[in-house]
Amino acid sequence: MATREEMQQRVQEFLKRYAAVREEVGKVIVGHDEIVHGVLTCLFVGGHCLLEGVPGLGKTLLVRTLSKTLHLDFSRIQFTPDLMPADILGTNMVVEGADGKRYFEFQKGPIFTQICLADEINRATPKTQSAMLETMQEGSVSVGGQIHSMKKPFFVLATQNPIEQEGTYPLPEAQLDRFMFKLVVGYSTREEMSTILERTTTGHGVEPEQVMDGEEILKWQQLVREVVLAPHVSDYAVRLTLATHPEGPFAVEATNQHLRWGSSPRGAQTLALAAKVRALLEGRYNVSFEDIRRVYLPAMRHRVILNFEAQAEGIETDEVLLNILEGVPEKYEEQRAA
């Protein structure tokens, strides 16, 4: 078992390597610090990430830049209304061998990579979107009774346009639940816009360097899982998840008034793992209540469904989640005993 000094040394090494990746991404991406941090959190946990925002905000550029900083296989799938599941997963093709006999051979689709950019994923039909369910959950593809495993590490980094835009299809709830984070990409500030113009219109662009490979990523994913999550902090994450269930024992007023469905257990798993990354970035080897609170919105905003009343009143999902954060106490047992 590692000593306290050894663990602290590993934490410091993680901070150094995280900063190296962040620095390379920052050579291309201006601002959006929380978005970049969210994507890197998914990377070091091993989860998938969904980026939502209007076109032109740099979502695709961020994913492409990250792929250049990592020594991993990369492919991009442009989702369109006529895209079919076989175009993503692959299909069995009839081929002719040297002996003249014909047989079926599986031709792998673009999903067989390590970083998959699913660009504008909600432009495709729900049938095509659902083709990625098994891949995102199990890391494998089943075709013709055969299971084909993906090479690890494997990430799906998807972009989507706001669902109010024309020509988009809402993602199925089952697929949304398989994304670890949903990050909402906003507009750049005045200063950031000026820097973007300087970098992109003067012919002095900078290319990021590769600073990390798949083996090292897997090592850091293991470190994240070793971070200590005390029972009382774990219970806080569980209660925050259960508080999204309408009419449940831990539901708050905002839950019963504005939510139709709450989070699955994947929400609690995401809170725990993402909070462990947050703890490491603070130089700690144990998770705090604040770590849980800091990752609550990106972990939950795609796992709850507003009811008709909330939609009619223009209530935002994040607003409801913030009310839940305020209404759920950190130390439940002490308050109940009091």
Write down all domains in the chain, each with its CATH number in brackets: 1-81+110-139+149-226 (3.40.50.300), 227-338 (1.10.8.80)
| Residue 27: pLDDT band with limits 50, 70, 90 | confident
Burial of 58: CB neighbours in 10 Å, binned 0-12, 13-18, 19+: buried
Inform me whether the pLDDT recorded for 96 exceeds 80.
no
Strand, helix or coil at 106? strand
Identify whether 249 is preceded by a cis peptide bond (ω within 30 of 0): no
| Residue 286: pLDDT band with limits 50, 70, 90 | very high
pLDDT of res. 336: 46
pLDDT of res. 53: 84
The per-residue pLDDT for range 170-218, each reduced to its tens digit, is 888 888 899 999 999 888 888 888 887 887 777 766 788 899 998 999 9
Stretch 219-229: mean pLDDT: 94
Inform me whether the pLDDT recorded for 338 exceeds 50.
no
pLDDT of res. 201: 79
Q: How does the average pLDDT of the chain come out, rounded?
A: 88
DSSP for 130-148, written as a single string? GGGHHHHHHSEEEETTEEE
Inform me whether the pLDDT recorded for 270 exceeds 60.
yes
The per-residue pLDDT for range 138-164, each reduced to its tens digit, is 888 887 778 888 888 999 999 888 866
Burial of 269: CB neighbours in 10 Å, binned 0-12, 13-18, 19+: middle
Lowest mean pLDDT among 29-33, 69-73, 74-78, 201-205: 201-205
What is the percent of the chain where pLDDT is above 90? 48
Inform me whether the pLDDT recorded for 335 exceeds 50.
no
How far is the C-alpha of 301 from the C-alpha of 296, rounded, in Å? 8
How far is the C-alpha of 223 from the C-alpha of 2, rounded, in Å? 12
Instruction: Kindly report the pTM of this predicted structure.
Output: 0.89
Inform me whether the pLDDT recorded for 124 exceeds 90.
no
Stretch 310-326: mean pLDDT: 93
Task: Supply 257's token pair.
Answer: 């008034």
Counts of helices then strands in the chain (DSSP H, E) = 17, 13
DSSP for 242-301, written as a single string? HTTSTTSTT--HHHHHHEEE---HHHHHHHHHHHHHHHHHTT-SB--HHHHHHTHHHHHT
CA 8-11-15 angle, 5° bins? 140
Element (H, E) at 118: strand 115-119
pLDDT of res. 280: 94
Burial of 254: CB neighbours in 10 Å, binned 0-12, 13-18, 19+: buried
